[in-house]
């Protein structure tokens, strides 16, 4: 059970009446997870979806031999695992808390009832899924059409933009970043060195400073190639 104040802040639930918010609050279940704890596994039956209260959650696929590809990382306010609510009923990927996290679980049945009675909620959810599709299409594009240096450059630029500063700390461990970029920790490490050697960035531990934004943009677009 969550408070109405917490719920009505979230974009997904914009447009609901006070009454409907109340109804929603009454079916929401709060769950907390420790760092590293599994939230659900691919193939498990999904009886509802989640919204992140605080913390960070990764959604990922695993290969037979344990290699991991992260599909998304979700933070506060973001819903995830909606797919089994509307199609199939099993989760299409795994979910794990990257840090101590508080999640709200919204059961399928009650939520679908709510959608039936409130078209704006349906449209909000359609918007969420559409944005998700856009993101996944971009991930496919990155993995298939771009090289690792381009992906890393794009990630650094994006993160700097998010943080609003050229100097920032990576907010996930480098191993996780490697998995998100579809590469290995070794390759990531080498690339950061090369970026630094070429004067694109400065880096020490999780701290990154972008020195040459134009250059990184050219790398991200595949216009420039990194010297061996």
Partner DNA sequence: CGGAAGATTGATCAGTTTCAAGCTCCGTGG
Partner DNA sequence: CCACGGAGCTTGAAACTGATCAATCTTCCG
Binding site for a copy of itself (CB under 8 A): 61-65, 67, 69, 71, 82-88, 92-93, 112, 115-117, 119, 122-123, 125-134, 136-141, 143-146, 182, 221-223
* In the complex, minimum distance from the CB of residue 155 to DNA, in angstroms, rounded to a whole number: 14
**Which residue's structure tokens are 């109405």?**
4
Of 48, 55, 84, 182, the one binding DNA (CB under 7 A) is 182
- Count of residues engaged in binding DNA, rule: CB under 7 A: 23
Give the integer Cα–Cα distance in Å for 169 and 155.
13
Please report how many Cα atoms fall inside a 13 Å half-sphere around the Cα of residue 221, on the Cβ side: 8
Rg, the chain, Cα only: 20
Residue 186 interacts with, from DNA, a copy of itself, none (CB under 5-8 Å by kind): DNA
Interaction residues for DNA, span 52-81 (CB under 7 A):
67
Instruction: Identify what 88 binds: a copy of itself, DNA, none; CB under 5 to 8 Å per kind.
Output: a copy of itself
Task: Report the alpha-carbon distance of residue 10 to residue 5 in Å, rounded.
Answer: 9
The one-character DSSP state at 11 is: G
Residues 159-178 that bind DNA (CB under 7 A): 173-175
Taking CB under 7 A as the binding criterion, the range among 23-31, 115-123, 154-162, 186-194 that sits at the site for DNA is 186-194
* Shortest Å, Cβ 148 to DNA: 4
Contact between 188 and DNA per CB under 7 A: yes
Q: Do residues 124 and 8 touch, judged by C-beta distance below 8 A?
A: no
Among 46, 79, 149, 215, binds DNA (CB under 7 A): 149
- Cβ atoms of 179 and 187 closer than 8 Å: no
Q: Is 129 exposed, middle or buried (0-12, 13-18, 19+ CB in 10 A)?
A: middle
Question: Which residue from 137, 180, 132 is spatially nearest to 156, judged by alpha carbons?
Answer: 180
Site residues (vs DNA, CB under 7 A): 67, 147-149, 173-175, 182-190, 192-193, 203, 205-206, 225, 228
């Amino acid at each position: 059970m969550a408070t109405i104040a917490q719920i009505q802040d979230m974009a997904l639930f914009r447009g609901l009446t006070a009454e409907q918010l109340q109804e929603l609050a009454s079916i929401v279940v709060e769950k907390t997870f420790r760092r590293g704890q599994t939230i659900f596994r691919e193939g498990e039956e999904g009886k509802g979806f989640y919204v992140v209260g605080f913390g960070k959650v990764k959604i990922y696929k695993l290969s037979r031999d344990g290699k991991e590809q992260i599909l998304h990382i979700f933070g506060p306010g973001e819903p995830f695992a909606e797919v089994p609510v509307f199609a199939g009923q099993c989760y299409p990927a795994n979910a794990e808390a990257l840090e101590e996290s508080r999640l709200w679980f919204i059961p399928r049945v009650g939520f679908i009832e709510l959608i039936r009675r409130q078209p704006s909620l349906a449209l909000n959810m359609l918007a969420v899924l559409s944005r998700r599709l856009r993101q996944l299409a971009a991930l496919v594009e990155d993995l298939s059409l771009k090289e690792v240096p381009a992906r890393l450059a794009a990630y650094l630029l994006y993160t700097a933009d998010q943080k609003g500063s050229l100097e920032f700390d990576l907010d996930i461990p480098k191993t996780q970043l490697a998995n998100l970029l579809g590469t290995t920790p070794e390759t990531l490490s080498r690339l950061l060195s090369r970026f630094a050697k070429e004067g694109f960035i400065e880096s020490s531990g999780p701290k990154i400073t972008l020195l040459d934004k134009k250059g990184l943009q050219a790398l991200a677009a595949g216009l420039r190639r990194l010297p061996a």
